[in-house]
Amino acid sequence: MSYKIKLYHLYPDAMNLYGDLGNVIALSKRCQWRNIEFEKVDVKIGDKIDFADADMIFMGGGQDRGQKIVSNDLLKRKNEIQNLVESGAPALTICGGFQLFGKYFKTQKGDEITGIEVFDAVTIAGDKRLIGNVVVDISVATSKWVQKFKYEMIEKPQTTLVGFENHSGLTTLGPNCEPLGTVVKGYGNKGDGGYEGGWYKNALGTYLHGSLLPKNPWLTDHLIEMALMYRYGSPIPLDKLDDKLEILAHKAAVERAKTAKTLSL
């Protein structure tokens, strides 16, 4: 049987900082290598798009200006996106996308950009910019995913994510949104080295750019498996890939993060 995944990429023209497009490429290639058909639908402001056929949503990061530009259009799609997530469709949102999938983002000027409330989270701009390499322990989230979906996410469950953060927004999670992980190196959601990112059902939000998925192939596969499960209604095991290079890149990023400086501007 042949399989297919349909990804809806929200505002690729306005929300694509620091290599976020690489996340889409990673999803596409890891599907291609397994002979899974991968279709991408770009969703831009004003497009007449039916979300009923989406299997996964992706939204990258953007500057405050970019978030303001897309926010009104995103709000018009709020119910469709919320319904998808509630039904189990996976989503990956990066930085500004993570913020706009929360309740609101308040800029340094005091402007409040309303979000679509997928995540129980609020973001308020801080007075410093938090920049640097990040290592995150995701062992708690990983164990919950394995228990929830009754399958082994990966042969030897990985417990770290690596990436690069560059944000001034400080995000606080409410009781209905779990942190994606705890910070080993870096600043995290609130700049205090505590929690990083958030997740609700199969929707993930994070500040990790760089891009995230190529250096964390197990997370890429998790999203693919969730999209297949959503589309076909049952778990579909993925063929194993040779991830030697990806694992080396991941380990190199971990080692670099140990000695690299983080900046608070």
Do 172 and 179 contact (CB within 8 A), yes or no? Answer: no
Surface-to-core class of residue 2, CB atoms within 10 Å of its CB (0-12 exposed, 13-18 middle, 19+ buried): exposed
209 assigned to active site: yes
- The Cβ of residue 153 has, within 10 Å, a number of other Cβ atoms equal to 18
List strand residue ranges (DSSP E) for 138-208, in order: 160-173, 181-185, 195-196, 198-200, 203-206
Do 166 and 206 contact (CB within 8 A), yes or no? Answer: no
Alpha-carbon span 170 to 172, nearest angstrom: 7
177 assigned to active site: no
Give me 35's structure tokens: 């002979």
Place of tokens 């919320």: 82
Alpha-carbon span 114 to 116, nearest angstrom: 7
Listed in sequence order, the residues at least 6 apart from 67 whose beta carbon sits closer than 8 Å to its beta carbon are 15, 96, 99, 100, 105, 113
**Options 9, 167, 177, 209, the catalytic residue:** 209
Pinpoint the alpha helices (H) of 103-243: 139-149, 217-232
**Options 95, 177, 222, 250, the catalytic residue:** 95
Give me the active site residues, please: 95, 209
